[in-house]
Amino acid sequence: MEQRILGSALIVIHPGKIVRAALMLSLLVLAGCAGGLSQSYKQALSVIVPHEVDFDELKYYALRSDSAYDEPSEIRKTYPNVTRVTTVQSIDVQYFIETNKAAGTQTLSIRGTAEKPNMWQDVEAAAVNDTFLDMRVHRGFRNDSVAVFQDVKPYLRKDMDIRVTGHSLGAAIALLVAAYLDKEGYTVTRMVNFGQPKVTADEPSKQLSDRVTRIVDDRDVVPMLPPPGFAQPPYRHVGEEIILRPGKNYVFLDDHDSDRVSIEGFVREFTNFSVKEHHMDNYIANIQGKIDNGSNQVPYLLLGQ
């Protein structure tokens, strides 16, 4: 099944779930906001800065982000180190924790809500000041993240390394929950998120952003949301970005570059969006292909593109 963005509506499909989210935007406004990249910056994006990616590590987190959608019994069967799996009922967000005492690690995997129809409405997407983090964040993501943080905190250990992952809305929640844990003194060592929308309108600490890797499918438009106009300054991304292109190809962008291309990328992908590209099944298949057949780093732009 394939859907495109039409008018002011975007249909986003999670595994077995459909979320219809209202987007208050227009193509004309987006085109005016984007403005395009400068010629010098396009030149810079046509050059590769070598960066080797561990696709086996990405698969580890991708499988868990996908499994976060499963039934608790299936999660416990798949991951023997699970010490907690629950749904925060007030927001319908499921998460599970794996505790590996031998390795001294805990892995937190977060699922987005089954259906969150108001997530992109103005009231939800407005930026609000998070006094705990001292930064402006997406109101809806913040509300869900606070609920998950309060629920999960008693089950995480400060004497272990914490790794966090999630997909889509779950990825947005994962980023903020990790930030709260870091602020509370937990040792957050790694965050790997898939198809994550933008979460903050401010630049977080470098210490936090250095631990984040966002995985983005080449045609997944969700990481470009919210679009310009919901916050001033506009929402931005945090951390390095790995763009999965077909076959062996992938693009690596550091924290600075990934944020600078996000608006331009939204316009480029706006009329070329396939719903299936947002599914975790698609992310896993693309990563597995690069494990099986090898990978090849390519530039974000080809000259003349």
- Please tell me which of 7-16, 43-52, 64-73 the model is most confident about, judged by mean pLDDT: 64-73
Lowest mean pLDDT among 5-14, 72-81, 222-231: 5-14
| pLDDT (mean) for 170-185 | 94
**Does a structural domain hold residue 1?**
no
- pLDDT, greater one: 82 or 254: 82
Lowest mean pLDDT among 164-178, 192-206, 287-301: 192-206
**Amino acid 17: pLDDT:** 39
Nearest to 258 by CA among 228, 236, 286: 236
How high is the mean pLDDT of the chain? 80
HSE of 159, CA atoms in CB hemisphere, 13 A: 2
**Does a structural domain hold residue 65?**
yes
Lowest mean pLDDT among 206-210, 238-242, 246-250: 206-210
**Does a structural domain hold residue 208?**
yes
Sorting pLDDT into bands at 50, 70 and 90, what band is 188? very high
Rounded to an integer, what distance in angstroms lies between the CA atom of residue 180 and that of residue 21?
Answer: 27
Sorting pLDDT into bands at 50, 70 and 90, what band is 222? confident
113-126 pLDDT, tens digit per residue, is 655 655 655 557 78
**Does a structural domain hold residue 3?**
no
Lowest mean pLDDT among 42-46, 164-168, 261-265: 261-265
| pLDDT (mean) for 132-161 | 93
Sorting pLDDT into bands at 50, 70 and 90, what band is 167? very high
| pLDDT (mean) for 246-252 | 94
282 C-beta neighbours (distance < 10 Å), count: 19
* Total domain count, the chain: 1
Secondary structure (DSSP) of the chain: -----BTTEEEEEETTEEEEEE----HHHHHHHH----HHHHHHHTS-------HHHHHHHHHHHHHTTS-HHHHHHH-TTEEEEEEETTTTEEEEEEEETTTTEEEEEEPPPS--TTTTSHHHHSEEEETTTTEEEEHHHHHHHHHHHHHHGGGS-TTSEEEEEEETHHHHHHHHHHHHHHHTT-EEEEEEEESPPP-BSS---HHHHTTEEEEEETT--GGGPSPTTSSSSPPB--SEEEEE-STTEEEEE-HHHHHHTHHHHHHHHTTS--GGGGSHHHHHHHHHHHHHH--EE--S--TT-
**Does a structural domain hold residue 305?**
no
**Does a structural domain hold residue 302?**
no
The whole-model pTM stands at: 0.83
Sorting pLDDT into bands at 50, 70 and 90, what band is 134? confident
Rounded to an integer, what distance in angstroms lies between the CA atom of residue 301 and that of residue 305?
Answer: 6
**Does a structural domain hold residue 303?**
no
| pLDDT (mean) for 166-184 | 94
Sorting pLDDT into bands at 50, 70 and 90, what band is 47? confident
**Amino acid 263: pLDDT:** 47
Rounded to an integer, what distance in angstroms lies between the CA atom of residue 134 and that of residue 6?
Answer: 36
**Amino acid 41: pLDDT:** 61
* CATH number for 106: 3.40.50.1820
| pLDDT (mean) for 264-290 | 74
Token match 């992938």: residue?
Answer: 250
**Amino acid 231: pLDDT:** 67
Sorting pLDDT into bands at 50, 70 and 90, what band is 49? confident
- What range does the domain containing 180 cover? 9-297
Assess whether pLDDT exceeds 70 at residue 146.
Answer: yes
The percent of residues above 70 in pLDDT, for the chain, comes to 71
| pLDDT (mean) for 45-56 | 87
Assess whether pLDDT exceeds 90 at residue 98.
Answer: yes
